[in-house]
Chains A and B, each alone.
Chain A
Amino acid sequence: MKVKKSLYMVALFPFLIWLILLVVVPLMLIGYYGFTNAAGIFSFDNFHQFFQPDYLRVLWRSLYLSLVATVFCLLAGYPVAMILAGNTFRKKTLLVVLLIAPMWMNFLLRTYAWLTLLEGNGVFNTILQAMGLPKQSFLGNTNAVVFGMVYNFLPYMIFPIYNSISKIPKNILEAARDLGGGNATCFFRIILPLSVPGIISGITMVFVPGVTTFVISQFLGSGKVTLIGDIIEQQFMHAGNWGFGSAISIVVMVVVVVCMWLVNRFSDDSGVMMP
């Protein structure tokens, strides 16, 4: 096949420009701000400021809460993906759209709507009181934050898993059943291993935004649960300390990449992201 190499390079051009200008250069800028002090001289001051108990605790809390939310999403989302991929329902397209549709409503509006349901004089507490039960305070704690993450990111867990499950050829499952495999065997020996790429994507798409969210902690956590995203936002928008903000961003970036690398390693599937 005669393919003009140069033609492809031309086709690659807009993409390359995008990659360099809008991905690589901005990251280099973060590096630049993170590793210089106010006078513009190379220094570790910003990192030095970050590595103290209070900030590290915030980082740890963000990772932990996001991990918990990811586990919940996985446990709640996997069955949904399986049901969706199986033959329980006939109108699959409709159901897929039904699951995506909430995302077309705005993320902030949805989160805010939970306030109406959960706040002190909110809908849930009104119902509780009507039943003669005491009021609960649902908001302003870590549970509320995890809840908000699960709610907002659940679809991001369901779809990658659904995609990889529905790609499993039906005849493999049939063969397994013909050979006497029960439901459990089919699940653990075939469906689960073959859906690992989907699980990994799902974990990425839930865990990463979870670590760095600052809206959920502000809305549902009532500002009482500081996450690392809150600190970054604070530094860039309020304090105007871009060096410190960049340094935290770098730390978060490294930690997240290491976490995802670990997940990839444990999945014993090297080309997970790619088919």
Chain B
Amino acid sequence: MKKLCKKAYFYFILIFLYAPILTLVVFSFNDAKSRGKWGGFSLRWYKELFHNSQIMDALVTTIVLALLAAFISTVIGTVAALALHKSGTRLRKSMINLTYLPMLNSDIVTGVSLMLLFTFFHLDLGFVTLLLSHITFCIPYVILSVMPKLYGMNQSVFEAALDLGASQLQAYKKIVLPDILPGIISGFLMSITLSIDDFVISFFNTGNGVKNISILVYTSKTGVKPENYALSSIMFGAVLILLLIINIKEKKKSTEVNY
């Protein structure tokens, strides 16, 4: 009974989270242009979506931006975490406090401050500034997820490897990296999620017609066009497929364990 309640509550939250998304999916098949009115089932918005170069560009920008920002910030963040882990306590503490500043600063302050920076140095707002700003807010999250793994690591194995004649680099590659890999991966995924979901910082730091999906939705002020519904349904479909893959992998794993 208790388990049932728990399950029910969990599903309730899931419904709450997915209700608007399902609405988008349903309305993407709506023939009428205006939302709120049902004009019959149709696939016309999907057809128009692929002919809408603005939306396709925005989709590409969003994905490329997320992957690049996540990759660069994961590299910088991981290396920084490794170095901080080894550096003196005082230096570490002050550096880490500074690292958390962008997290404590709200999006809008980060966004605005970066805009001031780029404008001050006469950088033309566009993809590069967008990328820099995304890297900026991703790095702290990478450090945050790698640091605990470093502290949880068994230091003596690393030392043993060195004693047994491994070079520093080898020791890092063979001992430390595998140990902290889950942290690195979760930092990477976190960065991707944040980058895709971000609007505020992108809003202040893009220009020259570079638009990710957030910006596109915000600037198409006459409301969200039905093509965008179609786009979100496709994105949702992609996420679902990803879920399925994870599910199958888990099943495999559990059967392997059973053997």
Contacts and interface: CB of A to CB of B under 8 A. Distances in A.
Q: Do chains A and B touch in the complex (CB under 8 A)?
A: yes
Interface of A: 1, 3-4, 7-9, 11-12, 14-15, 18-19, 21-27, 29-30, 33, 76, 79-80, 83-84, 86, 88-89, 91, 93-95, 97-117, 119, 121-123, 151, 154-155, 204, 208-209, 211-215, 229, 232-233, 236-237, 242, 245-246, 249, 252-253, 256-257, 260, 273-275
Contacts of A257: 104
B17 interface: yes
A19 B98 contact: yes
Contacts of B49: none
B9 A246 contact: no
Consensus secondary structure, chain B interface: helix
Nearest to B120: A29
B151 A29 contact: no
B98 A102 contact: no
A135 B61 CA distance: 41
B6 interface: yes
A229 to B, nearest CB: 5
A257 B104 CA distance: 7
A33 B36 contact: no
B69 to A, nearest CB: 12
Nearest to A91: B250
Contacts of A25: 117
Given A105-B232, A108-B214, A109-B213, A18 B136 contact: yes
B210 interface: no
A23 B147 contact: no
Contact of B6 (A88, A91, A97, A204): A88
22 contacts: A4-B168, A12-B80, A22-B136, A23-B102, A24-B98, A29-B113, A29-B117, A76-B13, A80-B10, A88-B6, A88-B7, A89-B10, A94-B247, A106-B199, A112-B224, A121-B37, A123-B36, A236-B115, A246-B116, A249-B109, A249-B113, A253-B109
B148 A91 contact: no
Nearest to B106: A212
A77 B143 CA distance: 25
Contacts of B214: 106-108
Nearest to B251: A91
